[in-house]
Amino acid sequence: MQKENLLNVALAQIAPVWLDKVATLERIYAQIKGAAAKDTELIIFGEGLLPGYPFWLALTGGAKWNTKANKELYAHYARNAVTIENGDLDQVCALAKKHHMAVYLGIIERPLDRGGHSLYASLVYINQEGVIHSVHRKLQPTYDERLVWAPGDGNGLKVHALKQFTLGGLNCWENWMPLPRASLYGQGENLHIAVWPGSAHNTKDITRFIARESRSYVISVSALMSKSDFPLETPHYSKILEKSPDILADGGSCIAGPDGEWILEPDTQTDGNIYHTLDFNKVYEERQNFDPVGHYSRPDVTKLIVNRERQSTICLVDNMEEE
């Protein structure tokens, strides 16, 4: 029986089958099954891994208005996005339950509660019973991402208990936003999950910074993507490849401890799961001298208000006929 203060984690540093939802799900299933053989209790996948990051925007003139390429690529992206209400993640949930493994999964979500046509970069948390407990839609897409991703809301700014740990997560550059970070700290977060599309230049500084600021473990998980990973059947395949570098995402997954020092430095070599065991006692050790929402805070001076209402353009009220 495993000790309650220890948590076995897997960082799933893999490439998607780019913009292919069904094939990418098969890769996700394989990583979960592989992690189960290592007694993994939490597995984490990168930002938007299912079905992939919109790399074409920087390669095909994505900011050009009303072009055939941009429209057709967006339509392809939307068709391969995840609609949770339609059961797209049911098998992931079933595997989580079967293997008693919690999952953080980055998806491109096409939610029905916002009409079913716009896309969101969402981070989904599935607990060890296979239940989706939060879907955090990225608050502010970064730069050219705004051409295909809509801004999210605060509904997913939630934390989750896993053994002695309290988990929370953010997408990519959201991790640079002080107030969303503070909203998770204030709910007791001590294991922060940061998901990225890939590349060590994103993870090498912020991972240790958040760990030192929060006195928490921080796990950054990134995907991989190379020129050869673009499927031949992708719309405008030749145009995408014209300006594509050989490596678009080199991973950089890593772990920092509550003292802000590296446990696992950014890894740009591994293709697959990276395993480690975390010891909760290290959190208590570092909170002795600094606790940003406990003894080293002044709520009488500064306080954060968080709106976690799921946003929608309509509120339907159905009148019942009087008898």
Radius of gyration, alpha carbons of the chain: 20
Q: What is the pLDDT of residue 2?
A: 65
Q: Is residue 53 predicted with pLDDT exceeding 90? A: yes
Tokens representing residue 81 in the block: 């996005």
DSSP 8-state secondary structure symbol assigned to residue 183: H
Mean of all residue pLDDT scores within the chain: 96
Mean pLDDT of 298-310: 96
Assess whether 172 carries a catalytic annotation. yes
What pLDDT is recorded for position 321?
A: 61
Of 7-16, 109-118, 134-143, 309-318, the poorest mean pLDDT is in 309-318
Of residues 109, 172, 189, 282, which has the active-site annotation? 172
Is 163 a catalytic site residue?
no
98-155 pLDDT tens trace: 999 999 999 999 999 999 999 999 999 999 999 999 999 999 999 999 999 999 999 9
Instruction: Please tell me the pTM assigned to this model.
Output: 0.95
Residue 323 has pLDDT above 80, yes or no: no
Q: Residue type at 108? A: I
Tell me the two tokens of residue 274: 């990276």
How many whole angstroms from its chain centre is CA 201? 17
Q: For residues 133 and 156, is the Cβ–Cβ distance under 8 A? A: no
**Dihedral, 161, 105, 153, 61 alpha carbons, nearest 10:** 160
Instruction: Copy the structure tokens of residue 114.
Output: 């916002």
- How far is Cα 171 from Cα 196, in angstroms, rounded to an integer? 6
Question: What CA–CA distance (Å, rounded) separates 215 from 291?
Answer: 7
Over 90: is that where the pLDDT of 62 sits? no
- Residue 320 is classified by DSSP as P
pLDDT digits (tens, 9 = 90+) for 161-210: 999 999 999 999 999 999 999 999 999 999 999 999 999 999 999 999 99
Residue 273 in this model has a pLDDT that exceeds 60: yes
Q: pLDDT class for 307, splitting at 50, 70, 90?
A: very high
Residue spans of the domains in the chain: they are 6-287
Task: Write down the catalytic residue from 21, 93, 109, 138.
Answer: 138
Please give the span between the terminal C-alpha atoms of the chain, in angstroms, as a whole number: 60
**315 an active-site residue?**
no
What average pLDDT score do residues 277-285 get?
A: 97
State the alpha helices, DSSP H only, in the chain: 21-36, 68-79, 90-98, 178-185, 200-214, 237-242, 281-287
CATH topology of domain 6-287: Nitrilase/N-carbamoyl-D-aminoacid amidohydrolase (3.60.110)
Confidence of residue 318 (pLDDT cuts 50, 70, 90): confident
Mean pLDDT of 38-46: 98
